Amino acid sequence: MAEKKYVTLKLEEVSKSFAKVENDEVTHALNEVSLTMKSGEFISLVGPSGCGKSTILRLVAGLINPTTGKVTVDDKEILESSPERGMVFQKPTLFPWLTVEDNIAFSLKMQDEILKIWREREQLAIMVTHDVDEAIYMGTRVIVMDANPGRVVADIKISEEYPRDRSSASFVEYRNEILNRLHFSGKKQ
Ligand SMILES: Nc1ncnc2c1ncn2[C@@H]1O[C@H](COP(=O)(O)OP(=O)(O)OP(=O)(O)O)[C@@H](O)[C@H]1O
Ligand SMILES: [Mg+2]
């Protein structure tokens, strides 16, 4: 097995904006998002469409650069590789973390398979999901986001042993807390 590499991946006040196609306004896909993620963690990203989940995956894969702020691995900045820059920090395929996007909604068996791979590798995993139960079942942390501008509204540590029991009182409590954050984020205060 390949040597294990333990890393800290950070988004440091990352903003990403895109020009809108229909007019000359911009979309604030991410607004000053700061996140610190380490090997061994399983990060579940949840939030409504357009809150910037896929943008985070593309940033950490070095496919795009932030508009402002930095993405770093062990304090070294990841930059999108381009001929003008004349440098490639690391090829995305060599990044020591897993990113997962559940566009197809995983079966329960698939969830366990992904967890098994993650636990064997002791890597950092970052998963985008629209399924709150999946986020809690798998994550050591659930990051709840909201859109316009894309931002983090809650960072919830899931302190439960694996395998998790979807019907336990604590699981139900996490579910309620996250659903509450999803439904009310941006509307409070
Ligand atoms: N290349 C791009 N050009 C223009 N706008 C973009 C681009 N990429 C993303 N956006 C916009 O940025 C915002 C965040 O997009 P992103 O794809 O990260 O959201 P998401 O959370 O993954 O949403 P979904 O749940 O629908 O997949 C959206 O408003 C999207 O339209
Ligand atoms: Mg997406």
Q: Is the CB of 51 under 6 A from ligand 1?
A: yes
Mean pLDDT on 100-120: 89
How do beta strands 8-19 and 68-73 pair?
antiparallel
21-25, 99-103, 162-166: which has the highest mean pLDDT?
Answer: 162-166
* Mean pLDDT across 132-138: 97
Whether the predicted pLDDT of 188 surpasses 80: no
Domain 8-184 fold is: Rossmann fold (3.40.50)
The token pair that represents 184 in the structure block: 């009310």
Q: What are the structural domain ranges in the chain?
A: 8-184
Helix count and strand count (H, E) for the chain: 4, 9
**Ligand whose nearest atom lies closest to the CA of 45:** 1
Ligand 1 contact via 53 beta carbon (within 6 Å): yes
Point out the ligand nearest to the CA of residue 22.
Answer: 1
Residue corresponding to tokens 């508009």: 67
Band the pLDDT of 44: cuts 50, 70, 90. Answer: very high
Q: Which run of H or E residues covers position 115?
A: helix 108-121
Q: Which ligand is nearest to the CA of 33?
A: 1
Using CA of residue 63, residue 44, residue 145, residue 130, what is the dihedral sign? positive
Query: Residue 86 corresponds to which tokens in the numbers above?
Result: 């004349």
Dist. CA 54 → ligand 2 center (Å): 4
The whole-number pLDDT of residue 46 equals 97
Does ligand 1 lie within 6 Å of residue 123's CB atom?
no
Predicted local confidence at residue 81, as pLDDT = 58
Helix (H, G, I), strand (E, B) or coil at 125: strand
Mean pLDDT score of the chain, rounded to an integer? 88
| Amino acid identity, position 168 | S
- pLDDT of 3 reads 63
> Is pLDDT at 70 greater than 60 in this prediction?
yes
The reply to whether ligand 1 has any atom less than 6 angstroms from the CB of 184 is no
| Whether residue 149 has its Cβ less than 6 Å from ligand 1 | no
pLDDT band at 79 (very low <50, low <70, confident <90, very high): confident
Amino acid letter, 42:
F
- Whose tokens are 């996250």? That residue is 178
Determine the Cα–Cα distance for residues 14 and 90; give it in Å rounded to an integer: 20
* pLDDT at residue number 103: 75
Q: Determine the 3-state secondary structure of 189 from DSSP.
A: coil
- Confirm if 11 and 35 have CB atoms less than 8 A apart: yes
The Cα diameter of the chain in Å comes to 54
CA of 140 to the centre of ligand 2 (A): 21
